[in-house]
Amino acid sequence: MTQSQAAAAPTAEVSAQLAGLEGLHNQDLLGRYNQSLMGVFGTPQRVLVRGSGCTVWDADGKEYLDLLGGIAVNALGHAHPLVTSVVSSQLATLGHVSNFFTSPTQIALAEKLLGLAAAPAGSKVFFANSGTEANEAAFKLARRHGNNDAGGKRVRILALENAFHGRTMGALALTWKQSYREPFEPLPAGVEHIPAGDADALRAAVDETVAAVFIEPIQGEAGVRGYPEGYLRLARELTREAGALLIFDEVQTGIGRTGKWFASEGVLPDAMTLAKGLGGGFPIGAMITFGDEVSTLLTAGQHGTTFGGNPVAPPPRWPPCTPSNRSSCWSTCGRRAKPSAGRWPDSTSSRRSAARAC
Ligand SMILES: Cc1ncc(COP(=O)(O)O)c(C=O)c1O
């Protein structure tokens, strides 16, 4: 098959042929899945073979309205022409270069994110491959800040009860749920969880022994929960006074998910992590650091990743909205997804489970 034929062929057929699994239906494929894939996700509900916009099809040919969106990932739906064209044309041009080199697309996406985040001069971007890796970078940033400052006395890192930040060891230490954490202890030390949205608890906890405070601007795993008005701003004030970093995990809420680019807009953190919707289905994570001081905490050799920011992961025209057309781009999303009284109004089980952690 030539390259152009492959590009033109329907995805489901091509992938089934390549895998030697053509003609198999859900039940057979799930049997094969259980024989070959580690059971960390349990048995998947269906084998999905194709998607278009909000619709997906399973291996039995059944059609579904996709309300899960890849768990906050498929921001533009399935097989969006922009995503498929920029990813496939970039792959056909230059797919990977290692971190001994860079590419125009990597620089373009970093500049775009800094602009969208209204980041001041000196701000920087680190690209990773997932949300947990972006948070892992932020965890190391917090440690560097703690170790840098006054002889390393900032050993505490604060996270919120019910927080979800990922599954790797640092991100897991920040995550609240005991059943996720306990089998893997000991986790990196120094993390304390404080009640979410509780201004007094925040005031009591943030002092000069704290290296960083991690907050999801709206908690996802917790059941899509916001905070009382002014909570993020208070966190900003307290961390600034105490000299601690404020780190927003916008892995789930970022890139238009709440009707604006970032759910925390209006409160500038020291670092922000992104993933999920940023790649529209292509695996990518990012950490933005705000200002020169925070952006120079991690120096050459102190952090890295092979695939992060490769030429394909950050397609040059992605994300597709620009600051000038953002209002039309996200207005529908914003109308439908406005949190009220700390809780989002739409409580259908599919919306809920969509927002929960993977
Ligand atoms: C707020 C938040 N942070 C981090 C993560 C971890 O992201 P990933 O699954 O890409 O590692 C998730 C995943 O659901 C999340 O919701």
| Pocket test residue of 132, 139, 168, 278 for ligand 1, highest count of atoms within 8 A of CB | 132
* Binding pocket residue ranges, ligand 1, CB within 6 Å: 130-132, 135, 164-166, 216, 220, 249, 251-252, 275, 357-358
195 Cα to the center of ligand 1, angstroms: 20
Among the atoms of ligand 1, which is closest to the Cα of residue 220?
A: 16
Q: Report CA(275)–ligand 1 centroid distance (Å).
A: 8
Structural domain span for residue 213: 88-320+327-335
Local confidence band at 346 (pLDDT 50, 70, 90 cut-offs): very low
One domain, residues 29 and 163: no
Structural domain count, the chain: 2
Claim to verify: residue 304 and residue 180 sit in the same structural domain: yes
151 shares a domain with 223:
yes
Question: What's the pLDDT score for residue 348?
Answer: 41
Report pLDDT for 163.
Answer: 98
The pLDDT of residue 333 is above 90: no
Listed ranges 12-16, 104-108, 129-133; the one with the highest mean pLDDT: 129-133
Residues 236, 187 share a domain: yes
Residue 33 lies in a domain: yes
> Which CATH number do you get for residue 251?
3.40.640.10
Higher pLDDT, 23 or 336: 23
Residue 168 shares a structural domain with residue 307:
yes
What's the pLDDT tens digit per position in 241-255?
A: 999 999 999 999 999
Mark whether 149 is an active-site residue: no
- In terms of Cα–Cα distance, which of 233, 234, 272 is closest to 252? 272
Q: 147 with 196, same domain?
A: yes
Q: In terms of domains, do 92 and 59 share one?
A: no
**Residue 7 — pLDDT band, cuts 50, 70, 90?**
very low
Q: Is residue 112 part of a domain?
A: yes
pLDDT tens-place string over residues 64-96 = 999 999 999 998 899 988 888 888 888 999 999
In a domain? residue 151? yes
What rounded mean pLDDT belongs to the chain? 86
Is the per-residue pLDDT at 28 higher than 50? yes
Domain at 61, CATH number: 3.90.1150.10
Q: How confident is the model at residue 313 (pLDDT cuts 50, 70, 90)?
A: confident
Q: Is the pLDDT of residue 324 over 90?
A: no
Task: Tell me the CA–centroid distance for residue 85 and ligand 1, in Å.
Answer: 26
Residue 142 domain flag: yes
Q: Which of 32, 66, 100 is the last residue of a domain?
A: 66
Among candidate residues 126, 139, 164, 214, the one labeled active-site is: 164
Do residues 15 and 162 share a domain? Answer: no
- pTM assigned to the model: 0.88
**Catalytic site residue 198?**
no
As a whole number, mean pLDDT of residues 320-324 equals 50
The question of whether 28 is a catalytic residue gets the answer no
Return the best residue to mutate from 252, 253, 282 for the ligand 1 pocket (most ligand atoms within 8 A of CB). Answer: 252
- Say if 74 falls within a structural domain: no
Q: What is the pLDDT of residue 84?
A: 87
How close are the terminal C-alpha atoms of the chain, in Å? Answer: 36
- Residue 301 phi/psi, 5-degree rounding, is 90, -10
Same domain, 158 and 97: yes
Over residues 199-244, the pLDDT tens digits come to 999 999 999 999 999 999 999 999 999 999 999 999 999 999 999 9
| Percent of the chain residues past pLDDT 70, beyond the cut | 81
**Same domain, residue pair 120 and 269:** yes
Q: Within a domain: residue 149? A: yes
Specify whether 182 is located in the same domain as 307.
yes
**Same domain for 114 and 205?**
yes
pLDDT digits (tens, 9 = 90+) for 168-189: 999 999 999 999 999 999 999 9
Q: Using 50, 70 and 90 to split pLDDT, how confident is the model at 106?
A: very high
**Residue corresponding to tokens 């919120």:** 160
CA–centroid distance, 252 to ligand 1, in Å, is 6
Residue 352 counted as domain residue: no
